[in-house]
C-alpha cells in the first residue's frame, strides 16, 4: 500500500496589532515590559530597548560613546547579562 503524501496547507495569517495605543501596525514580537507582556510593532520594539539602553548608561554614569566603549572594554567580558551591569 502506498504511503499518503503529506498535505501542506498555506499558513493562515494571524494579525495581532501592536499593544501601544493608537498603533494598528502588526506586531513582530512579544516582549516583557514593566507592566507585563506586550505584542509590539517594529517601531515600538526598537523604542523599548533604546529606553532600556539609555537608562542603563545613565545609571552607569556614561556620558559619551567613548565612555561606553571604555566601560565595555573594562567590564564587558566579566558580565553575562547587560542587566547585571553596575
Residue 74 confidence (pLDDT): 86
pTM of the model: 0.66
| Low-confidence residues of the chain: pLDDT under 70 | 1-12, 77, 79-86
Residue 63 confidence (pLDDT): 94
Spatial CB neighbours of 67, under 8 Å, sequence gap ≥ 6: 61
Residue 41 confidence (pLDDT): 93
Domain ranges of the chain: 29-84
The C-alpha cell 542587566 sits at 83
Residue 34 confidence (pLDDT): 85
Query: In the numeric block, which cell numbers belong to residue 33?
Result: 515590559
Residue 1 confidence (pLDDT): 58
Amino acid at each position: 500500500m502506498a504511503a499518503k503524501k503529506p498535505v501542506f496547507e498555506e499558513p493562515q495569517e494571524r494579525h495581532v496589532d501592536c499593544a501601544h495605543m493608537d498603533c494598528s501596525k502588526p506586531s513582530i514580537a512579544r516582549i516583557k515590559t514593566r507592566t507585563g507582556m506586550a505584542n509590539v510593532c517594529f517601531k515600538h520594539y526598537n523604542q523599548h530597548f533604546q529606553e532600556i539602553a539609555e537608562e542603563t548608561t545613565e545609571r552607569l554614569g556614561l556620558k559619551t560613546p567613548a565612555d561606553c566603549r571604555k566601560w565595555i572594554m573594562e567590564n564587558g567580558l566579566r558580565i553575562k547579562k547587560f542587566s547585571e551591569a553596575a
